[in-house]
Structure 1
Amino acid sequence: MTLDPPLFSKFRHDGLDIAFFDAGDPSGDPILLIHGFASSANVNWVFPGWLKTLGDTGYRVMALDNRGHGASSKPHDPALYHAEVMAGDAAALLDHLGIAKAHIMGYSMGARISAFLALYHPDRVRSLILGGLGIGMVTGVGDWDPIADALRAPSLDVVTHERGRMFRAFADQTKSDRVALAACISTSRDLLTQAEMARIDVPALIGVGTADDIAGSPQELAALMPQATALDIPGRDHMLAVGDRVFKKAALEFLAAIGPA
């Protein structure tokens, strides 16, 4: 099966336009993909081959551009970027498409949003695939305030923080709204408690690169969840693990073990 580049549509939610695509087999099991910070549905899921991998296997593949990203609206108010609020966009997309329940896959910030979706909208989630975020979901992933500062800086030349330079350069390359991204990174890092993670009682796969210095241990996070399995993605850092073949193979095996609805 050859998939053409996905066609994006938009729907209105919470006063914002949310861009999304709905591709693959329309009669297949639905899976909703939620991308990471400063990325987009195309960058996170289409270019690394996830749309093709899942579409070729017979899934109905949906993905949204999170608010502040891609072709979606980009408000500058940090209060609009809490993880629970962004999870509401994902639930609203399922409503818009008339889908009662779906597999959910998120990477990095998208993994956090996916966990909040499973916690606050448990009836919508068949399973979870969380990539690029392990126990950092609970303990935090370090100081990201310098990244917000880098995004607000007048130019890349004045940014000295290493990770800040990386995200600022990426935002410049993708011509992103840097003020919206700074607002997003300021408030989207809401943590879940150990008790809240224990309430997420659906089959879950947690994949983290062994060279990822951001995510934290997938094994420690999986140990908090009733039906979770951890996956080490060998030799991959936070940026490269998302498209890794080991991750794709494990995800397909995980979904196949759950079986069709």
Structure 2
Amino acid sequence: MPSFIHDNLSLTYFDEGEPAGDPILLIHGFASNKEVNWVNPGWLKTLGDAGYRVIAIDNRGHGESDKPHGTEAYVPERMADDAIALLRHLEVPRAHVMGYSMGARISAFMALAAPEMVRSLVFGGLGMGMVEGVGSWEGIAEGLLADSIDTVSDPRARAFRLFADQTGSDRIALAACIRSSRRKLTAEQVRKIEVPAMIAVGTKDDIAGSPHELAALLPRAQVVEIPGRDHMLAVGDRVFKQAVLEFLASNH
């Protein structure tokens, strides 16, 4: 996979789909990577077949990108700067941006830092949790750092530890990330995001927070409820994909 250097880190990405198409930048969620979040669920094929230039980054600490162990590396502003730097590296002046979960939070910080580079936004798997927080995640770092998964009893922490073990992730980097990347936006910050936005959340998602409350803060937002899906299963849902295609077409 190609990579570039930013903030003294090597960050990997892919740049595929239709080269002459409208670019869309994809930003994955916590403990995932560009393949797990966007290739395996069919997003690359869906967007590429629709004529888009599809760009996706491995966030720092994830996938094939460098994995610093200090918590200060994972504040969302710095992760948003990575995404901005990737577009500049590829000489893409403006793109649609879609993030899922942590990636949605990073996308929001990106829109605040470089609004001229963001054509539209898709916030997947994150609603009012962007402002109010997304519940208790403190145990996840401890679960990631435990000597054995057998000692991890919290269901959510155990699920992330199992996933990290299966993907061969750097658990120290992920623990640092989960401690720093959940910085909340204020309602005032959200109101400053003026580009068209779509908020897509599963009806069984108990992490994201209300998509309607977040939409009420955004000047130009619409909500898509993904029926019967929780936080994990909503990612590749066909209702989600169809809604994104329609949203992008309306903001072409």
Normalising TM by the smaller chain, what interval?
over 0.9
Q: Quick one: which amino acid aligns to residue 208 of structure 1?
A: V
CA distance in 2 between partners of 1:145 and 1:180 (Å): 15
CA distance in 2 between partners of 1:258 and 1:244 (Å): 21
Give SS of 1:242's match: coil
Instruction: Give ranges in structure 1 of 5+ residues lacking alignment.
Output: 1-7
CA distance in 1 between partners of 2:120 and 2:250 (Å): 11
The correspondence of residues 156-235 of structure 1 with structure 2, limited to 5 A, is: 156-235=149-228
Q: Quick one: which amino acid aligns to residue 189 of structure 1?
A: R
The correspondence of residues 4-83 of structure 1 with structure 2, limited to 5 A, is: 8-83=1-76
1:94 to 64, 87, 95: 87
1:252 to 238, 241, 245: 245
1:158-191 per-residue CA deviation (whole Å, 9 max, x = no partner) reads 0011100000000000000000000000000010
Give SS of 2:199's match: strand
Runs ≥4 in structure 1, deviation > 2 angstroms? none
CA distance in 2 between partners of 1:241 and 1:120 (Å): 28
Give SS of 1:94's match: helix
* Structure 2 equivalent of residue 3 of structure 1: none
How many residues matched?
Answer: 252
2:235 to 242, 255, 258: 242
- What's the CA shift for 1:147? 0.2
CA distance in 1 between partners of 2:212 and 2:42 (Å): 26
Q: Quick one: which amino acid aligns to residue 73 of structure 1?
A: D
CA distance in 1 between partners of 2:138 and 2:12 (Å): 27
- What's the CA shift for 1:14? 0.2
CA distance in 2 between partners of 1:37 and 1:169 (Å): 14
1:5-38 per-residue CA deviation (whole Å, 9 max, x = no partner) reads xxx2000000000000000011000000000000
- What's the CA shift for 1:121? 1.0
- What's the CA shift for 1:64? 0.5
- What's the CA shift for 1:214? 0.3
1:112-167 per-residue CA deviation (whole Å, 9 max, x = no partner) reads 00000001111110000010000000000011110000000001000011100000
CA distance in 2 between partners of 1:16 and 1:53 (Å): 30
Calculate the aligned-residue CA RMSD, in Å. Answer: 0.4
1:192-239 per-residue CA deviation (whole Å, 9 max, x = no partner) reads 011110000000000000000000111110110000101100000000
CA distance in 2 between partners of 1:30 and 1:157 (Å): 44
Instruction: Give ranges in structure 2 of 5+ residues lacking alignment.
Output: none
- What's the CA shift for 1:258? 1.0
- What's the CA shift for 1:57? 0.4
